[in-house]
Amino acid sequence: MPHHEPDFRLDGYDAVNDHVAELFSHHIEIESDMLTVLAEHHTEDAEHSFYVMHNGAVTWGIPGEPQIVALHLKRDTDARTFRFTHEMLPLPSMAQSWLIARGCPEEKILLPDGMGTTPADQSTRALEARVRSDGDHFALLTSYTYDSEPMQTTVMLRALDERAPLPFRVLLEEVDTDAWTHTLREGGFATFEAATQWWEAHWRGEDVPLPSASPAARHTAAASAVRALPARPAPPRGPSR
């Protein structure tokens, strides 16, 4: 994957206050040379910029942490100041959903060819499309990104609708580094305990299939636009290294 450093288009702009300047420096600028832009969109009036980026610096930090940055820059073109919001998320489609919820057109933030792995099949494409478009129905509980062989990411979600028949969902992305493709699958669970049991068995190396998500649960997996629910502790995140 080519390394495409971000151009934040902030020449002549200052942060709206010192607090924003400090946060932008700490969360974005300090690692900007390790950021690879996967997709970006800028509005014609120059007031908004949206980025999906991979943060290579995360690979040297705490194992399993999300590596995808969603960034929304908001400029005041008259005052020449800017604000920003950002989120670290485990999957590009979740970052896209987060940005779409903040006003970015979906078709403008899709990953171009060559940026990241390619969906291996139509099931992956369809699920990623639902993740992008349905980002306010589930909350992110936890995730684990394993960037050694075999490369994979697991994500646990909880439905915000208490009537959902399968309120806990797990997304599993697996990367084929030879073909440079990936698959994304979804499983549905009635309880947190059941989801946790699958999670722990999977990361122990057991070959446990994901239970299918019920078609009756209309709102399928998406997690990027809302806060994580703090009601229960997260399961063990992944393998120890």
The verdict on 6 and 98 lying in the same domain is: yes
The verdict on 163 and 87 lying in the same domain is: no
Higher pLDDT, 215 or 180: 180
Please give the average per-residue pLDDT across 46-74, as a whole number.
Answer: 96
Domain boundary among 92, 116, 140: 116
Give the pLDDT confidence of 116-145 residue by residue, as tens digits.
899 999 999 999 999 998 767 889 999 999
Range(s) of the domain holding residue 34 = 1-116
The verdict on 3 and 102 lying in the same domain is: yes
The verdict on 222 and 155 lying in the same domain is: yes
pLDDT for position 184 = 98
Strand order in 181-189's β-sheet? 118-119, 181-189, 168-176, 152-159, 138-146
Domain boundary among 70, 88, 116: 116
**Would residue 15 count as lying in a domain?**
yes
Q: Which residues pair with 173 in a beta bridge?
A: 153, 184
The verdict on 160 and 200 lying in the same domain is: yes
Q: Which residues pair with 72 in a beta bridge?
A: 50, 85
pLDDT for position 234 = 52
Higher pLDDT, 77 or 216: 77
The verdict on 22 and 75 lying in the same domain is: yes
The verdict on 54 and 143 lying in the same domain is: no
CA 16 from centroid of its chain's CA atoms: 27
Instruction: Classify residue 74 by its DSSP letter.
Output: E
Instruction: Please list, in sequence order, all residues whose beta carbon lies within 8 angstroms of the beta carbon of residue 17, skipping any fewer than 6 positions away.
Output: none
pLDDT of 224 > 50? The answer is: no
The verdict on 123 and 112 lying in the same domain is: no
The verdict on 107 and 126 lying in the same domain is: no
17 three-state secondary structure:
coil
**Would residue 226 count as lying in a domain?**
yes
pLDDT band at 114 (very low <50, low <70, confident <90, very high): confident
The verdict on 84 and 189 lying in the same domain is: no
Q: Percent of the chain at pLDDT above 90?
A: 78
pLDDT for position 229 = 38
Q: Percent of the chain at pLDDT above 70?
A: 87
pLDDT of 230 > 80? The answer is: no
**Would residue 241 count as lying in a domain?**
no
pLDDT for position 232 = 39
Whether pTM exceeds 0.85:
yes
Tokens read off for 119:
């969906």
Domain boundary among 94, 116, 138: 116
pLDDT for position 177 = 94
What's the number of domains the chain is made of? 2
pLDDT of 22 > 80? The answer is: yes
The verdict on 146 and 216 lying in the same domain is: yes
Please give the average per-residue pLDDT across 208-218, as a whole number.
Answer: 71
Please count the other Cβ atoms lying within 10 Å of the Cβ belonging to residue 81. 16
Give the pLDDT confidence of 97-106 residue by residue, as tens digits.
999 999 999 9
